């Protein structure tokens, strides 16, 4: 199966992307692994005509937003994101109508239609920087309430919170985190900002997935508790074979991130099926919100 997929990738001039939460065999086969936005940006710079995105639907949409001339394929149509489903264009429009005029900061873990209605996008790594870059003192941050509360704790801006969340990170409780720390007293506890505020208080380090990977590689410590989806432990262990990684909770498994198998990748490549294409009337304003964020780091 691996050889068949590699052959198809070459025949179709395709590149295979895998998010850090994907199953190990998918990560090992991919041309690139990483965070969703990072992968879309890196893929845009290649000469590949086809992008096979092993992740969830909003990630494939982001690739389509950034690379409109490439064919973007999602191997499983049912690989969605429960948090992204907690907001849509209609509900955001209604919320904006009820509030005073203010910027809308939207987490990249959202649909293209929601990005299109936003002032600027953010990632879990740059949310504080994005919030502080805006001249306004008041803003709405959607859809992740935990990320919004984390950003609010790091700035003096007034942040209105959308009541959405990532179920996988919400499952990690303060009691779970405290037990993991008690079981592994010498380990550094790293938590993702999508975790609950009472969990983040217990963390030694709060980082995005790419930030956790970087921190674990650079840190002199030899043991780490990983407070995010368990798929991240695979690349961490590969990059740091001499270090030990423990899941903060074995409950932190995203079923949507585990839907794609090797046969799904082979089938979508063979038939060029599962195409995700963002219409231009949505893509252009969504790209503007993403570009405003990217301009901050240029």
| Secondary structure of residue 205 in the 3-state scheme | strand
pTM: 0.95
Q: What is the pLDDT along the chain (298 residues), one digit of tens a residue?
A: 999 999 999 999 999 999 999 999 999 999 999 998 999 999 999 999 999 999 999 999 999 999 999 999 999 999 999 999 999 999 999 999 999 999 999 999 999 999 999 999 999 999 999 999 999 999 999 999 999 999 999 999 999 999 999 999 999 999 999 999 999 999 999 999 999 999 999 999 999 999 999 999 999 999 999 999 999 999 999 999 999 999 999 999 999 999 999 999 999 999 999 999 999 999 999 999 999 999 987 7
Cα 62-278-12 angle, rounded to 5 deg: 75
Which CATH architecture fits 172-251? 3-Layer(aba) Sandwich (3.40)
Structure tokens at 28: 């090992």
Q: How far apart are CA 148 and CA 153, in angstroms?
A: 9
Cα 26-58-297 angle, rounded to 5 deg: 95
Domains of the chain: which residue ranges?
A: 2-80+257-283, 84-163, 172-251
Q: Which fold has domain 2-80+257-283?
A: Rossmann fold (3.40.50)
CATH 2.120.10.30 is the classification of domain 84-163:
no
pLDDT at 297: 74
Q: How far apart are CA 273 and CA 271, in angstroms?
A: 5
Structure tokens at 107: 């987490």
Q: How far apart are CA 66 and CA 92, in angstroms?
A: 23
Q: How far apart are CA 178 and CA 49, in angstroms?
A: 48
Beta bridge partners of 73: 52, 275
């Amino acid at each position: 199966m691996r050889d068949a997929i590699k052959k198809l990738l070459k025949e179709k001039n395709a590149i295979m992307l895998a998010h850090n939460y994907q199953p190990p065999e998918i990560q090992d086969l991919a041309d690139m692994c990483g965070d969703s936005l990072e992968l879309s940006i890196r893929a845009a710079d290649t000469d590949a005509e086809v992008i096979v995105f092993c992740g969830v639907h909003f990630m494939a949409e982001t690739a389509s937003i950034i690379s409109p001339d490439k064919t973007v394929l999602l191997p499983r149509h049912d690989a969605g994101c429960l948090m992204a489903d907690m907001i849509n264009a209609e509900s955001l429009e209604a919320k904006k109508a009820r509030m005073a005029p203010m910027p809308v900061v939207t987490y990249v873990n959202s649909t293209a239609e929601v990005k299109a209605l936003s002032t600027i996008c953010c990632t879990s790594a740059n949310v504080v920087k994005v919030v502080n870059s805006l001249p306004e003192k008041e803003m709405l941050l959607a859809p992740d309430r935990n990320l919004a509360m984390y950003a609010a704790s790091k700035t003096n801006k007034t942040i209105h919170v959308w009541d959405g969340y990532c179920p996988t990170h919400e499952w990690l409780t303060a009691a779970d985190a405290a037990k993991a720390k008690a079981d592994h007293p010498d380990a550094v506890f790293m938590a993702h900002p999508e975790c609950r505020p009472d969990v983040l208080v217990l963390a030694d380090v709060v980082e995005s997935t790419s930030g956790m990977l970087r921190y674990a590689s650079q840190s002199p410590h030899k043991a780490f508790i990983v407070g995010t989806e368990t798929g991240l432990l695979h690349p961490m262990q590969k990059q740091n074979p001499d270090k030990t990684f423990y899941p903060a909770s074995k409950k932190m498994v995203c079923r949507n991130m585990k839907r794609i198998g090797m046969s799904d990748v082979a089938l979508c490549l063979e038939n060029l099926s599962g195409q995700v294409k963002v219409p231009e009337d949505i893509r252009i304003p969504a790209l503007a919100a993403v570009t405003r964020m990217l301009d901050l780091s240029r």
